[in-house]
């Protein structure tokens, strides 16, 4: 895991007052000294400069030039004054009232329904291509005129904030029953799609108090229009100008509201080149977290491959503790998000007289501002985590109607299941594909090949537990599944754990994976990372072939290359056949340890296909306890009678003889002074960030951690040397003499108990 060189924290720099070059210099200098390397220029309430005036561009020029001179790596633009995007600070609607957002008002009086198309003069019409062209001309093109030479260089992208067709607004009149976003041709498009009259369907549903009949179709049409009129033109403009289109949508918090605000939120979010979300409320309870939002943005992040963005902490509180800030950054990183906008970072606080509900200043106004450099270092780790590969065991289809999707996602999180969202028409690739509908839960795909439907989520999850047991989980000390955590496992085997218990007590938990268990503590608002280790070896694996009446059988799960058979040559050379074919061994037995190789010869490397294979001895050859007749050597994992290709995960090395080399990255907690892990009593060498720690030959296998590594993520290398015992296997040897040693007395243990070890950090 390589931490990114650029600090991924981005101050959302609210330009308040009318700052001159001297003020801008001092403001940016404070951020630079705190380790920041990116800055977002944010026109917001409290700004006393006319938006898009020459003075505004002069101020932006001063900011960009100061960023360049002070060594910032990225500047981000914002395409609006406040929000929502699409209005150019209200200019679009002032110049042409017809460019205000349209809506269809449905009213009822004495049982009779009437319809009227109205406008909201305070909202831009993102469904009108001409209004959007004006918006791009008045904002994006003006920025290109002034700063186009920096596009794709210092200026990385432009931020769109909450564009939507849901800002229909307007006070209801007597008898108002419904307001619906509208564009000319909506009714005709609805009839083509459904074969029905929109007005008739609206009346039917209002009379019968239901929305299911029309809402999915209208959302789909509005979403398609929104995509074609606003999102795609802005994205295409950004692509032409070598900028990333970033930002987030409106009303992301639940499925129903996001559908009404964006029509087809997944398709819209997928169309951002740097998709984002608004983590505005900082929910700290799993049942209130916006899992639908996170899953939707993750889908876009994985599809686009440019990373993702989160606007963080707008509501605060302004006394939010640093550990909670750190936790939320790491949390969103688990969904592929690697840019973290700190909202907001105002030049001064005068905007608080206008926007009175938002205050959590990530600026020198915070007494702990200088410590943000430490937060930035940790954010680099989070950004690297965000770029890891993720392979979900469950995919959930994001529906086009307002069913209880978030309820299912909450249950999957509490069950520590690994899930992601897919689109309505997207092919599922995970072992399990689920769909939520008004009647319950449907499994479109299951490991056993059978489709299923359940009336309740609980019944469906019980079947999942039977068919898809958890490979990795976190439990309480008593063995029960730990609640109020978010667990994410990555393709490289690493594990991230986030605490959402809300308790101020430290939790005593257990990580269980691959048959191993590790006790650990999880602090309030804490995070814990466990490495996905790569386990390599310095020589081939050896398998002692065990013969019964001169016959040994074993299976290959898949074809294996580079196998070598090693018959003993001492006393009488061992002769044998493989799958009925006589085998010659004339090469040096380099796969064996010194002292053994002189007594054996090896075959030329060969390939075996999957299935059962048989080795038959052609004669009577004694099989000495510590000088076996035949070894099989190769890069395989040994699971008794079955061999598989070795996956560098430690599995199948229990009988390996040689050096076991374990490499990965470890996040060393602040305050940890010692490191301990299970060595199986083997001679062990430890390297932290390439620096060799003192060797350990016997217990206690504890190492002191140099203070400079505290709070850092560093590469770790562990080398353990086994004895020669495992190569002899675990067969039962004959009794030496009556009344003497039994086989159990002198049989080698035969097992490396921990081919992969977990690190335990101590204070």
**Coil/strand/helix, residue 372:** helix
User: What is the band of 255 on the pLDDT scale with cuts at 50, 70, 90?
Assistant: confident
The answer to whether 45 and 416 are in contact (CB under 8 A) is no
Predicted confidence (pLDDT) per residue in 368-377, tens digit? 999 999 999 8
Q: Is the pLDDT of residue 739 over 60?
A: no
CB 310 within 8 A of CB 379: no
Q: What is the pLDDT of residue 14?
A: 97
pTM: 0.85
Residue 562's Cβ-side half-sphere holds a number of Cα atoms within 13 Å equal to 11
Give the 3-state secondary structure of 204-260: HHHHCCCCCCCHHHHHHHHHHHHHHHHHHHHHHHHHHCCCEEEEECCCCCCHHHHHH
Instruction: Please tell me the class of the 536-645 domain.
Output: mainly beta
10 Å Cβ neighbour count for 439? 10
Position 742 pLDDT exceeds 80: no
Phi–psi pair at 638, nearest 5 degrees: -105, 115
Structure tokens, 707: 């203070």
* CATH top-level class of 654-762: mainly beta
Which residues partner with 443 through β-bridges?
434, 452
- Helix or strand holding residue 57 (H, E): helix 54-69
pLDDT at 475 over 60: yes
What distance, in Å, lies between the first and last C-alpha atoms of the chain? 25
- Between CA 587 and CA 8 the distance in angstroms is 56
Q: Is the peptide bond before 141 cis (omega within 30 degrees of 0)?
A: no
- Strands 674-676 and 760-762 come out as antiparallel
If one compares 738 and 497, the residue with the highest pLDDT of the two is 497
Task: Look at 55-64, 211-220, 274-283, 565-574 and tell me which has the smallest mean pLDDT.
Answer: 211-220
Averaged pLDDT score across all residues of the chain = 92
Which residue has tokens 């074969």?
195
Q: 441-452 pLDDT, tens per residue?
A: 999 999 988 889
46 with 350: CB under 8 angstroms?
yes
**CB within 8 A of 283, min separation 6: which ones?**
289, 290
Q: Single out the residue of 341, 281, 280, 345 nearest to residue 307, CA to CA.
A: 341
pLDDT at residue 189 is higher than 50: yes
Q: What pLDDT is recorded for position 393?
A: 96
Which tokens hold the place of 33?
């000294």
Measured CA to CA, the distance from residue 758 to residue 718 in angstroms comes to: 11
Q: Residue 744 has what pLDDT?
A: 52
Distance, CA of 36 to CA of 377 (rounded, Å): 10
Contact 326, 9 (CB under 8 A): no
- For residue 737, name the pLDDT band (cuts at 50, 70, 90): very low
- CATH superfamily placement of domain 9-95+125-168+199-386: Glycosidases (3.20.20.80)
pLDDT at 751: 67
pLDDT digits (tens, 9 = 90+) for 25-81: 999 999 999 999 999 999 999 999 999 999 999 999 999 999 999 999 999 999 999
d(CA 595, CA 676): 34
Residues in the chain, how many? Answer: 763
Q: Where are the domains of the chain?
A: 9-95+125-168+199-386, 394-532, 536-645, 654-762
Q: Over the stretch 377-405, which tens digit does the pLDDT of each residue have? A: 899 989 999 999 999 999 999 987 767 89
Give which of 628, 550, 565, 626 is closest to 601, Cα–Cα.
565
Query: Between these two residues, 320 and 226, which has the higher pLDDT value?
Result: 226
How many separate helices (H) and strands (E) can be counted in the chain? 17, 42
Between 317 and 704, whose confidence is greater?
Answer: 704
pLDDT digits (tens, 9 = 90+) for 489-533: 998 889 999 999 999 999 999 999 877 788 888 999 999 988 888
How does DSSP classify residue 428?
A: P
Task: State the Cα–Cα distance between residues 322 and 553, nearest whole angstrom.
Answer: 60
Instruction: Give yes or no for a contact between 556 and 608, defined as CB atoms under 8 angstroms apart.
Output: yes
Identify the CA nearest to 330 among candidates 38, 667, 72, 32.
Answer: 667
Whether omega before 733 lies within 30 degrees of 0, making that bond cis, reads: no
Question: 340 with 313: CB under 8 angstroms?
Answer: no
Tell me the H-state helices in 341-456. 372-386, 405-414
Domains 9-95+125-168+199-386 and 536-645 share a fold: no
Give the pLDDT of residue 4: 44
Share of the chain above pLDDT 90, in %: 80
User: Which residues, other chains included, contact 284 with Cβ-Cβ below 8 Å and sequence gap of 6+?
Assistant: 324, 500, 502, 525
Residue of higher predicted confidence among 211 and 368: 368
Over residues 331-342, mean pLDDT: 98
Where residue 688 falls (left for φ over 0; alpha for ψ -120 to 50; beta otherwise) is beta
| C-alpha closest to that of 437 among 392, 467, 407 | 407
Torsion of CA 405, 406, 412, 417, to 10 degrees: 90
Amino acid 105: pLDDT: 95
Query: For residue 748, what pLDDT band results from cuts at 50, 70 and 90?
Result: low
Residue 749 has pLDDT above 70, yes or no: no
- Residues 645-702 have pLDDT tens digits of 998 988 899 889 999 999 998 888 877 899 999 999 999 999 999 999 999 999 999 9
């Amino acid at each position: 895991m390589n931490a990114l060189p650029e600090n991924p924290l981005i101050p959302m720099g609210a330009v308040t007052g009318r700052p001159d070059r001297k003020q801008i210099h001092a403001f940016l200098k404070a951020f630079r000294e705190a380790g920041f390397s990116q800055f977002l220029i944010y026109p917001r309430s409290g700004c006393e400069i006319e938006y898009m005036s020459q003075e505004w561009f002069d101020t932006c020029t001063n900011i960009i030039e100061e960023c360049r001179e002070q060594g910032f790596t990225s500047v981000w633009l914002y395409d609006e004054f406040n929000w929502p995007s699409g209005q150019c600070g209200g200019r679009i609607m002032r110049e042409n009232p017809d460019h205000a957002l349209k809506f269809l008002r449905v009213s009822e009086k004495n049982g009779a329904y009437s319809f009227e198309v109205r406008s909201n003069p305070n909202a831009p019409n993102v469904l009108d291509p001409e209004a959007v062209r004006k918006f791009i001309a008045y904002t994006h093109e003006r920025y290109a005129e002034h700063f186009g030479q920096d596009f794709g260089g210092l200026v990385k992208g432009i931020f769109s904030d909450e564009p939507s067709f849901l800002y229909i607004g307007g006070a209801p009149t007597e008898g108002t029953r419904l307001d619906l976003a509208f564009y000319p041709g909506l009714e005709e498009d609805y009839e083509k799609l459904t074969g029905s009259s929109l007005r008739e369907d609206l009346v039917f549903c209002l009379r019968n108090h239901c929305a299911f009949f029309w809402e999915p179709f209208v959302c789909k049409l509005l979403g398609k229009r929104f995509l074609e009129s606003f999102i795609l033109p802005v994205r295409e403009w950004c692509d032409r100008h070598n900028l990333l289109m970033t930002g987030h949508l409106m009303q992301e918090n639940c499925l129903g509201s996001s559908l009404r605000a964006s029509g087809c939120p997944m398709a819209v979010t997928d169309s951002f080149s740097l998709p984002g979300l608004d983590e505005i409320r900082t929910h700290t309870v799993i049942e209130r977290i916006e899992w639908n939002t996170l899953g939707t943005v993750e889908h876009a992040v994985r599809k686009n491959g440019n990373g993702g963005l989160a606007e963080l902490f707008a509501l605060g509180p302004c006394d939010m503790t640093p550990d909670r800030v750190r936790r939320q950054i790491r949390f969103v990183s688990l969904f592929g998000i690697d840019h973290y906008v700190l909202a907001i970072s105002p030049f001064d606080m005068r905007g608080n007289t206008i926007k009175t509900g938002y205050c959590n200043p990530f600026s020198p106004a915070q007494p702990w501002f200088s410590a943000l450099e430490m937060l930035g270092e940790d954010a680099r780790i989070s950004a690297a985590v965000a770029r890891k590969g993720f392979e979900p065991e469950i995919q959930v289809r994001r529906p086009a109607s307002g069913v209880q999707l978030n309820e299912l996602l909450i249950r999957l999180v509490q069950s520590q299941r690994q899930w992601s969202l897919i689109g309505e028409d997207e092919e599922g690739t995970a072992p399990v594909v689920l769909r939520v509908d008004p009647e319950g839960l449907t499994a479109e795909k299951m490991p056993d090949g059978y489709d299923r439907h359940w009336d309740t989520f609980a019944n469906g999850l019980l079947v999942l537990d039977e068919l898809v047991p958890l490979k990795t989980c976190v439990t309480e000390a008593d063995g029960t599944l730990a609640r109020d955590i978010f667990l994410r496992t990555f393709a490289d085997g690493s594990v991230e754990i986030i605490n959402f218990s809300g308790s101020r007590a430290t939790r005593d938990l257990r990580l269980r994976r691959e048959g191993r268990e590790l006790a650990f503590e999880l602090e309030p608002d804490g995070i814990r990372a466990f490495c996905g280790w790569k386990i390599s070896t310095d020589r081939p694996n050896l398998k002692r072939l065990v013969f019964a009446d001169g016959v040994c059988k074993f299976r290959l799960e898949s074809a294996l290359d580079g196998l070598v058979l090693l018959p003993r040559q001492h006393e009488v050379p061992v002769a044998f056949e493989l799958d009925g074919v006589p085998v010659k061994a004339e090469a040096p037995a380099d796969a064996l340890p010194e002292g053994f190789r002189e007594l054996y010869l090896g075959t030329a490397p060969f390939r075996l296909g999957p299935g059962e294979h048989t080795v038959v001895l052609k004669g009577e050859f004694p099989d000495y306890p510590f000088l076996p007749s035949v070894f099989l050597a190769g890069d395989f994992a040994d699971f008794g009678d079955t061999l598989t290709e070795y996956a560098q995960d430690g599995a199948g090395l229990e009988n390996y003889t040689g050096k076991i080399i374990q490499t990965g990255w470890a996040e060393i907690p602040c305050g940890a002074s010692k490191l301990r892990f299970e060595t199986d009593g083997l001679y062990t060498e430890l390297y932290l960030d390439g620096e060799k720690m003192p060797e350990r030959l016997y217990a206690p296998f504890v190492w002191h951690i140099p203070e400079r590594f505290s709070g850092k993520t560093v590469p770790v290398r562990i080398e353990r040397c086994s004895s020669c015992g495992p190569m002899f296997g675990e067969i039962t040897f004959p009794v030496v003499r009556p009344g003497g040693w039994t086989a159990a007395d002198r049989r080698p243990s035969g097992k490396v108990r921990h081919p992969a070890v977990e690190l335990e950090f101590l204070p």
